[in-house]
A = this chain, B = another copy of it.
Amino acid sequence: MTSEAATGRQVTMADIARAAGVSMATASRALSGSHGVSAATTARVRAVAEELSYVVSPEASGLARRATRRVGVLTSHIARWFFGEALEGIEAVLAAQGLDLVLYCVGTPEDRRRFFADLPARRKVDGLIVVGMPISAAERTRLDLLGVAVVAAGGQTADYPYVSIDDAEAGRQAMDHLLMLGHQRIAMIDAIDPNAEEWPVELRALAYTRALERAGVPLREDYFVRVPWGPDGGAEGMERLLSLPEPPTAVFVHSDDMAYGVLRVLRHAGLRVPQDLSVVSIDDAPFSRLLDLTTVRQDARLQGTLAAQAALAAIADDGEHVPQETLTTTRLVPRGSTAAPEPGR
């Protein structure tokens, strides 16, 4: 039609205004749906825009209105169950609002150092969601330079508003299950992430201790092991426990992924689950059902969803109505990896 459309040049709002016979101002208002434009004009402008398949330039629009319509996501992993699910939840919420998600993944300490040093997200996002990453006070100071709302998902980071499960409660659910079954010799395999800061308080470990205390079961130092995150870590932890003079009859594992390693070690050692040893963990990742693992279920996607909504709210009203803490529920999913200890033991 118009020569503009024919040439390679991008269609611009001036083109729309001209074709619709209105000023740029009116075209802009009609397109953005702001009030104070007659219905007829709005319709005409939009029809022209549609016809020329015009879309406003986010760069220009953002420059003029001082907003990016983008939110950043900072995370340490993508290809892990919790992170992937949370990310999907976040993306869905953002997409529904027409916001873009820009992804920053800092897997190694070096990536991480650089991220906080350079702050690549500066001036690029209206808000930031930190997923599953505890951050240090120094890092928090750097993050504040972004000058945007920050919320966290999957754990409390610094003192930003966050959505998470109640780790103490989840731990309690796992431990109570074991205690209820009659176990006394209960060990815990806890996780250390070699590439990450520590979470401020390890609530799952705390839940372990508290549950035993409440049940009047004396704590045994040799029953608490900390190993690197992941199946191999879980395996290592289990091997250590098996080498004990008096091994436990049940083990509470930090997370499903680690429990998978535990199960492998037990199978190779020729031990039967749950007859010789009960195993419970936290997550309910997809494989847990296949492996018949008893676990405490958490909804990672939901945490992403809620965090994204909190971020939206924080961006909209400057954090006025953003709850500091949002906890999603967890519940025990009893399966075949736990049972009462065998009588003889």
Contact = CB atoms under 8 A, between A and B. Distances in A.
Interface of A: 10, 53, 55-60, 62-63, 68, 70, 77-81, 83-85, 87-88, 91-92, 95, 98, 100-105, 107, 111, 119-120, 122-124, 145, 147, 231, 260-261, 263-264, 286-287, 290, 301
Nearest to A100: B102
B55 A59 contact: no
A103 B91 contact: yes
Nearest to A86: B79
Given A84-B78, A286-B231, A104 B111 contact: no
A102 B102 contact: yes
Contacts of A122: 55
Contacts of A260: 287, 290
A78 B70 contact: no
Given A78-B88, A91-B104, 10 more contacts: A10-B123, A10-B147, A56-B123, A58-B124, A78-B84, A78-B87, A79-B81, A92-B107, A95-B120, A231-B290
A111 B100 CA distance: 14
Q: Which 8 A-B pairs have the closest CB atoms?
A: A79-B84, A59-B63, A59-B62, A91-B105, A79-B85, A55-B122, A100-B102, A101-B103
Contacts of A63: 57, 59-60, 63
A62 B95 CA distance: 23
Contact of A80 (B84, B231, B287): B84
A102 B55 contact: no
A209 B78 CA distance: 36
Contacts of A60: 59, 63
A98 B122 CA distance: 12
Contacts of A124: 58, 100
Contacts of A77: 88
A102 B70 contact: yes
A91 B108 CA distance: 13
Q: Which residue, of A60, A98, A123, A145, has the highest number of chain B Cβ atoms within 10 A? A: A123
Given A105-B91, A260-B287, A290-B264, A98 B84 contact: no
A104 B264 CA distance: 37
A107 B88 contact: yes
Nearest to A87: B78
B119 A91 contact: no
A70 B58 CA distance: 12
A271 B92 CA distance: 42
Q: Which residue, of A80, A85, A103, A124, has the highest number of chain B Cβ atoms within 10 A? A: A103
Contacts of A301: 79
Contact of A59 (B80, B104, B119, B123): B123
A128 to B, nearest CB: 13
A60 B78 CA distance: 31
A120 B98 contact: yes
Given A105-B95, A231-B286, A290-B264, A100 B78 contact: no
26 contacts: A10-B147, A53-B145, A55-B119, A57-B63, A58-B124, A59-B60, A59-B63, A59-B123, A70-B102, A79-B84, A79-B87, A83-B84, A87-B103, A88-B107, A91-B103, A92-B105, A95-B104, A95-B111, A95-B120, A101-B102, A101-B103, A231-B290, A261-B290, A263-B290, A264-B290, A287-B287
